[in-house]
């Protein structure tokens, strides 16, 4: 009898994962949702970063973030010694942030719709770049104006262990593997949950080399 799929040649530890992960009310995990757009997203990302290069922001207290960041859209997330904010201007260049590429916006809106959010119109795409050792400690995202709107995240390149905590920083987080093409829509009661990213392991991804990128789409203004 013909098989519709050839057998995999290498054992994949993650073949045992459930197809859909339930992260509780308000969260929709869309595994592989952005896979068909992966290359287009990365090509547009490269253009954005020509105008607004990745940089390691310095947070209050003087520490440099291990994750390199940039933004596109009418606003961008920035950190400096005075705190966090959304700003229409890239402090590094003095220019407005680059426009959000259509392919970015389209994926984000389609994902929000798939998760039953209507009217998602992101004005910010924060772009995070992780290399081996880079991590993001547990935090809440609370600089946005309207918490009824979700955040849409798109993972590209090397996989990372995402830490999904609770309503308190001290709640023990669950560990979720986020891989190339995975999209998660975080809304409703999940919106203020503590979350972070475990330090990235070294690797070599066919499309992104030694990096992991994460795009987070927000309605901030
Ligand atoms: C849940 N980024 O940029 S994406 C961030 O992979 C951030 O770079 C991580 O946390 C990353 O703020 C995680 C998933 C994510 C993003 C925002 C959220 C989950 C969220 C906001 C509220 C709840
Ligand atoms: Fe966050």
Q: What is the pLDDT of residues 34-60, one digit of tens each?
A: 999 999 999 999 999 999 999 999 999
Beta bridge partners of 76: 87
Q: Which residues contact 179 (CB under 8 A, 6 or more apart)?
A: 14, 31, 155, 159
Q: Average pLDDT, whole number, for the chain?
A: 92
- Percentage of the chain beyond pLDDT 70 is 91
How long, in residues, is the chain? 221
| CA 216 – ligand 1 centroid, Å | 7
Ramachandran area for residue 104 (φ above 0: left; ψ -120 to 50: alpha; else beta): alpha
Is the distance from CB of 176 to CB of 151 less than 8 angstroms? no
Q: Of 204, 220, 221, 216, which is closest to residue 67 (Cα–Cα)?
A: 216
Determine the atom of ligand 1 nearest the C-alpha atom of 139.
Answer: 10
What is the reported pTM? 0.92
Ranges under pLDDT 50 in the chain:
1-3, 7, 9-11, 15-16
| CA 53 – ligand 2 centroid, Å | 20
Dig out the tokens for 210 from the structure. 């030694």
Distance CA 96, CA 3 (A): 53
Strands across the sheet containing 174-178 = 136-139, 195-197, 160-164, 174-178
Q: Which pLDDT does position 22 carry in this prediction?
A: 86
Beta bridge partners of 153: 184, 216
Q: Residue 105 phi/psi, 5° resolution?
A: -60, -40
Ligand that comes closest to the CA of residue 162: 1
**Domains of the chain as residue ranges with CATH:** 11-218 (2.60.120.590)
Torsion angle defined by CA atoms of residues 132, 14, 209 and 108, in that order, rounded to the nearest 10 degrees? -100
Which tens digits make up the pLDDT trace of 62-75? Answer: 999 999 999 999 99
* C-beta of 128 in contact with ligand 1 (< 6 A): yes
């Amino acid at each position: 009898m013909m098989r519709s799929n050839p057998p995999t040649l290498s054992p994949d530890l993650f073949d045992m994962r459930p197809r859909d992960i339930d992260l509780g009310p308000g969260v929709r995990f869309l595994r592989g949702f952005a896979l068909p757009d992966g290359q287009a997203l990365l090509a547009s990302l490269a253009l954005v970063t020509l105008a607004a290069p990745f940089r390691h922001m310095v947070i209050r207290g003087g520490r440099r973030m291990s994750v390199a960041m940039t933004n596109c859209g009418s606003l961008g997330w920035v950190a400096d010694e005075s705190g966090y904010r959304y700003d229409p201007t890239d402090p590094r260049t003095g220019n407005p942030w680059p426009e959000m590429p259509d392919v970015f916006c389209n994926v984000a809106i389609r994902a929000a719709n798939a998760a039953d959010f209507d009217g998602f119109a992101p004005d910010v795409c924060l772009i995070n770049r992780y290399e081996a050792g880079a991590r993001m400690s547990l935090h809440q995202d609370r600089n946005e104006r309207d918490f009824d709107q979700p955040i849409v995240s798109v993972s590209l390149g090397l996989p990372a262990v995402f830490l999904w905590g609770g309503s308190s920083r001290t709640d023990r987080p669950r560990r979720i593997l986020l891989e190339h093409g995975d999209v998660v829509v975080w809304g409703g009661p999940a919106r203020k949950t503590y979350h972070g990213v475990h330090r990235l392991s070294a690797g070599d991804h066919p499309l992104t080399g030694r990096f992991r990128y994460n795009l987070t789409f927000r309605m901030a203004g």
